Copies of this chain bind each other. A is one copy, B any other.
Amino acid sequence: MEFEESTVESELIYKGRVVSLRLDTVQLANGRTVTREIVQHRGAVAIVPLLDNSTVLLVRQYRQAVGEALLEIPAGTLEENESPETCAIRELEEETGYTAKLMQPMFSQYLAPGYSQEVLHVFLAEELSEGSARPEEDEQLELVETPVSEVAPMVLDGRIRDAKTIAGLLVTLRLLGK
């Protein structure tokens, strides 16, 4: 089956700091022409920081987009020309103060491919050393040590409800054989 959509026209509606908005007119394989609203994004990383084999470090922060504070794995947006690994090391230290001796890529995922370009690279951070957090000026974070045995129940009862966090933690549980 042929899926490819060919872009007929592309119009930038708004250029923002984190996201920009683009309107694409595309022709489907069946000949029809439709419009797609596209959120442009530079890409991001997220880090699952294992304090030990049974404890993961999460951050709680207020998210204006959804109007509440969420429990998440540390994450951040790629800077220009920054590699995902460099970004993961930087974001973990900025948000939590921890540095990791081992920082391994686990998998990558598109967060909302129906309209958003964003790809998120997920890393597993191990052999951590504590330091001082240096959050960005518009970030306010609380560190929350969480038993890995609590992760699945917390997803099902809604205490964890961020997609990148659910995927990152459940992949980690499988890798740990838990």
Chain A residues proximal to chain B, CB less than 8 Å: 1, 3-5, 7, 13-14, 16-19, 21, 23-24, 26, 28-30, 32, 34-39, 41, 44, 60-66, 69-70, 72, 75, 77, 106-120, 137-138, 140, 142, 152, 155-156, 158, 161-164, 166-167, 170-171, 174
Q: Count this chain's copies in the assembly.
A: 2
For A44, list chain B residues within 8 Å (CB).
114
**Complex Cα–Cα for A12 and B165 (A):** 29
| B156 in contact with A108 (CB, 8 Å) | no
From B1, B13, B116, A116 is in contact (CB under 8 Å) with: B116
| B65 in contact with A114 (CB, 8 Å) | yes
From B120, B140, B167, A170 is in contact (CB under 8 Å) with: B167
